[in-house]
Amino acid sequence: MSEKAAEKLIYGFHAVLARLRHDPAGVLEIYLDLTRRDARARDLVQQAKDSGIKLAQVEADRLARLVGRTARHQGVVARVRPVVRAHSLDDLLDAAATPPLLILLDGVTDPHNLGAILRSADAFGAHAVIAPKDNAVGLNATVEKVACGAAETVPYLMVTNLARTIEDLQERNIWVIAADMDGTRRLSEIDATTGIAWVLGAEGSGIRRLVKQRCDEIARIPIGGTVESLNVSVSAALCLYETARQRGG
């Protein structure tokens, strides 16, 4: 792998500042809109200086050329090394000090949804978010921006076979629950005090039949109104909140 291939761009103040705090050695260079003179920009300049990271003040047009004119970069872009995910799922579960709390995503390809899910996972203490290598979004710049730093703190593991991963979790006595509108029990009726993995599918297609069949149970989120379903990131947040509520968090 070439040196350039081992680099990527992230943008937005939350994403760049989170990388500076959690992995300053992985930040190669920061580009800041030279018209930004506010407190947020000054804080970024100071943190880059304290970490010994080169910061270049550039015109907004250069930032647009780097990440695309439709990207909401907020005036800051950073060139970074990809985060190294050091732990396998087994290592992560072996090291867990509390009952495992996992989110499994089936067919979620929208980076905004993944970013929001990672943010909720960080807020409610999930150990990891897991997705298949095929038909899933990776940790791109949009995910990192929406995640507001959670992409640095919550492991995002991509597995070869999601159905097999579910079986592996069940062998560890982790309760695997599909969150789907055809569930017979309400979300609040599920015992989430033990190890639990919530399985969620993309809007429209939902959870694949084979994956759903592997789950121990199917739970539904009771909703009213005229909508038929919730956004997957909202569903994930509700599952995580219910788990934290039952555990007294």
**Across 134-143, 158-167, 191-200, least confident range:** 134-143
Q: Are residues 66 and 186 in the same domain?
A: no
- Distance between CA 209 and CA 220 in Å, rounded? 16
Residue pointed to by tokens 């991509």: 158
Q: Are residues 44 and 165 in the same domain?
A: no
**Region 16-32: what's the mean pLDDT?**
89
pTM comes to 0.75
Could you tell me if residue 1 is inside a domain? no
- What tokens were used for 110? 């929208």
Q: How confident is the model at residue 4 (pLDDT cuts 50, 70, 90)?
A: low
What does 138-179 look like in DSSP terms, one character per residue? -S-HHHHHHHTTHHHHS-EEEES-HHHHHHHHHHTT-EEEEE
First to last CA, the chain: 43
- What tokens were used for 230? 């919730």
Q: Are residues 51 and 155 in the same domain?
A: no
Closest to 122 (Cα-Cα) out of 236, 25, 17: 236
- CATH number of the CATH domain containing 154: 3.40.1280.10
| Number of Cβ atoms within 10 Å of the Cβ of 242 | 22
CA angle 44-145-128, nearest 5°?
115
Closest to 190 (Cα-Cα) out of 239, 229, 224, 230: 239
Closest to 98 (Cα-Cα) out of 210, 243, 222, 226: 243
- Distance between CA 85 and CA 198 in Å, rounded? 22
Q: Are residues 168 and 51 in the same domain?
A: no
Could you tell me if residue 2 is inside a domain? no
Closest to 24 (Cα-Cα) out of 52, 44, 43: 52
Q: Are residues 53 and 109 in the same domain?
A: no
Domain count, the chain: 2
Q: Are residues 71 and 103 in the same domain?
A: no
DSSP letter assigned to residue 129: E
- The highest-confidence range among 7-21, 87-101, 110-124, 220-234, by mean pLDDT, is 110-124
**Whole domain around residue 160: which residue ranges?**
89-246
Q: How confident is the model at residue 1 (pLDDT cuts 50, 70, 90)?
A: very low
Q: Are residues 159 and 235 in the same domain?
A: yes
User: Looking at this protein, which amino acid is placed at residue 247?
Assistant: R
* Boundary (domain end) residue, out of 80, 105, 132: 80
CA 226 to chain CA centroid, Å, is 29
Per-residue pLDDT of 34-88, as tens digits, reads 999 899 999 999 999 999 999 999 999 999 899 887 778 889 999 998 766 656 8
Crossing angle of the two packed helices 13-22 and 39-51, in degrees rounded to 10: 30
Asked if the model's pLDDT at residue 2 lies above 50, the reply is: no
Asked if the model's pLDDT at residue 226 lies above 90, the reply is: no
What is the predicted pLDDT for the residue at 107?
93
198, β-bridge pairs:
103, 177
Asked if the model's pLDDT at residue 138 lies above 90, the reply is: no
Give the 3-state secondary structure of residue 30: strand
